[in-house]
Amino acid sequence: MFLICSYRRTLPRQPDSRPLQNLMPALLLHDLPFEIIPLEARMLLCSTPAGFPSPAADDIEEPIDLGTWLIEQPAASYVMRVDGTSMAGAGINDGDLIVVSRAKKPRPGHIVVALVHGDRTLKRLKRAGDRLWLIAEAEGYGETIVDENVEIWGVVVGLARRY
């Protein structure tokens, strides 16, 4: 099975069922069956000029399997689709696919998927003094202190985007 996640905007609730003050997206998990089929693309190990055309036939290297390249530890990794703009400042946009590793230890500065009162959110983990915080990378989103109501679920280790 391949686990695909998507965000939905929701207003998380405190333990006494009152809505929290900040609006955070939550992840929805969807199991999708698939067969692992290597998908190779030719990789050019050179720079590409953005000005005049350049013949590149001499620069073709070994093919690359993008799945293997993006996902180092498949048994502990998930691919999730982002829905929302709270991490646009970190280069993670609405519709992007992120690779999340549960094997990598989260550290301040990492972008993480966290459970906040049971709802998933994507934020940067930061340290301020002796406390850890979940911080959005866009204006208009609240900060969340990492306490007993927060579980760091995984660390973002890859990103895929279609243009």
Instruction: Collapse the DSSP code of 95 into the 3-class scheme (helix H, G, I; strand E, B; otherwise coil) and give the result.
Output: coil
Contact in structure between 163 and 103 (CB atoms under 8 Å): no
Active site residue 86: yes
Spatial CA neighbour of 96 closest among 108, 104, 106, 88 = 88
Active site residue 105: no
Residue 139: Cβ within 10 Å count: 9
Task: Identify the active-site residue in 54, 86, 101, 105.
Answer: 86
Angle at alpha carbon of residue 106, lines to 24 and 159, rounded to 5°: 65
Task: Identify the active-site residue in 77, 101, 105, 123.
Answer: 123
Cα R_g (the chain), whole angstroms: 19
Q: Which residues are catalytic?
A: 86, 123
